[in-house]
Amino acid sequence: MKFRTKAVHTGTKKDTTFNAVTTPIYATSVFSFDELGKNKGYDYTRSGNPTRTALEENIAALEGGVGCSITTTGMAATTTVMLLLKPGDHIVANTDIYGGTYRLFDQVLKPLGYKFTFIDMTDLDAVKESVTPETKMIWIETPSNPFLHITDIAGVVAIAKNNKILTVADNTFLSPYFQKPLELGVDIVIHSTTKYLNGHSDVVGGAIVYSTKELQERGNFLVNATGVAGSPFDSWLVSRGVKTLALRMEAHQKNAQAIAEFLESNKNVKRVYYPGLGSHPQQDLIKKQMTGFGGIVTFELDTAKVPLKTFFKKLKYFSLTVSLGGVESLIEAPWFMSHASMGKDGLKNSGITEEVVRISAGIEDAEDLIEDLANALKG
């Protein structure tokens, strides 16, 4: 089955009572037993719910995994994955990962005794050098946030496999439509389904996709034991979103490309970061592991000419907000917003300045978006 067919058909048709074409929302906390010791596969919604199962089967199929756990948020997915490890274990991660992931690692797990090394993961030698006998996990986020640096997934996996290290990829930015880390040898993929998988800015959710049955069993156990399973209603919303993932990703990418090219030609913009531009320095790697460039464009505004506040204020179609991956275009300044939780040192280490702006291109008409940006860039 091909990608778009899987997106529409996998996991659906759970209703055998009325043969509903879509999976119903099983809004129930409990499922009764037919008799002692015999039920229909579900007993309590924290441990399992058919609406959630439908989404888990769907996302597992799209990523090419053996199974999936749906969680309340992307951070719940990340937290659950980190519980596969224990204090004393060492984890290697990119410097410019999602701000909330950095906060969890640095401010929650580090005080509990987890050890972290943050490196520039575009440099495979740096990955090799950072590995110690205690290293138990390499955390990959590619393209990175907000600068869209690309990590060589297969390259990192090769280093990890030699040292029996678990690899995890946060695939939120490209979605399985443009990148399939499991096919490149990664052990676990996580998602903030809040972003592209749901795609309509109306739910927060997460997913963990497993490459093996053992990981799936442990992951499902942890999700149930810690109580972070996604709700039936949220699961239903994401299931609805996923059906149009391919169509939306194509539209996001088309707009992002047009915006990136426009920004690159504007004199009040210092630098543009987008994998679809010839100026992105990692062309070979992009072709090797990605089937598209995604919908996120980052740039540096010349704030001496156009103050950040003025720029944002003049925009009509771009909502000034964190998050990404919705049908509507969003814009934000990582220094002040999405990445502020990294603290000034963390921000500086990852190269984020007060001039950096991140756009999540929506699916509107590109002409309108560009006209809006052009107007705001006049200052």
Ligand X SMILES: *Cc1c(COP(=O)(O)O)cnc(C)c1O
Q: Catalytic residue positions? A: 46, 98, 170, 195
For 89, residues 6+ apart whose C-beta sits below 8 A from its C-beta are: 114, 115, 134, 135, 136, 137
CA 134 to chain centre: 27
Interaction pattern, residues 112-151, with ligand X; x per rule: CB under 6 A: -----------------------------x---x------
Piece of 9-17, 124-132, 151-159, 188-196 that binds ligand X (CB under 6 A): 188-196
Cβ proximity to ligand X: between 6 and 103 the closer is 103
CA-nearest of 138, 143, 154 to 82 is 138
Residue 360 interacts with ligand X (CB under 6 A): yes or no: no
Cβ-contact 259, 191 below 8 angstroms: no
Piece of 62-70, 187-195, 249-257, 339-347 that binds ligand X (CB under 6 A): 187-195
Residue 172 interacts with ligand X (CB under 6 A): yes or no: yes
Tokens of 312: 């944002």
SS3 108: helix
Residue 101 interacts with ligand X (CB under 6 A): yes or no: yes
Name the phi and psi angles at 167, rounded to 5.
-115, 135
Kindly state the smallest distance separating residue 352's Cβ from ligand X, in Å: 15
Residue 96 interacts with ligand X (CB under 6 A): yes or no: no
CA-nearest of 274, 251, 265, 276 to 365 is 251
Kindly state the smallest distance separating residue 353's Cβ from ligand X, in Å: 20
Cβ proximity to ligand X: between 148 and 166 the closer is 148
Q: How many residues bind ligand X (CB under 6 A)?
A: 16
Residue 75 interacts with ligand X (CB under 6 A): yes or no: yes
CB count within 10 Å of CB 166 equals 19
How are strands ordered across the β-sheet holding 330-332? Answer: 269-273, 296-301, 356-360, 330-332, 319-320
Residue 74 interacts with ligand X (CB under 6 A): yes or no: yes
Residue 79 interacts with ligand X (CB under 6 A): yes or no: no
Piece of 96-104, 159-167, 241-249, 291-299 that binds ligand X (CB under 6 A): 96-104
Residue 10 interacts with ligand X (CB under 6 A): yes or no: no
Per CB under 6 A, contacts with ligand X among 193-222 are: 194-195, 204, 206
314-323 — which CB contacts under 8 Å span 24+ positions? 314/375, 314/376, 314/378, 315/372, 315/373, 315/376, 316/372, 317/362, 317/364, 317/368, 317/369, 317/372, 318/359, 318/369, 318/372, 318/373, 323/194, 323/195, 323/201, 323/360
Per CB under 6 A, contacts with ligand X among 293-322 are: none
Piece of 68-76, 111-119, 251-259, 369-377 that binds ligand X (CB under 6 A): 68-76
SS3 content of the chain, % helix, strand, coil (to 5): 40, 15, 45
Kindly state the smallest distance separating residue 74's Cβ from ligand X, in Å: 2
Kindly state the smallest distance separating residue 323's Cβ from ligand X, in Å: 6
Kindly state the smallest distance separating residue 244's Cβ from ligand X, in Å: 19
Cβ proximity to ligand X: between 203 and 263 the closer is 203
Residue 192 interacts with ligand X (CB under 6 A): yes or no: yes
**Cα(141)–Cα(194) distance, integer angstroms:** 16
Residue 176 interacts with ligand X (CB under 6 A): yes or no: no
| Residues near ligand X (CB under 6 A) | 73-75, 98, 100-101, 141, 145, 170, 172-173, 192, 194-195, 204, 206
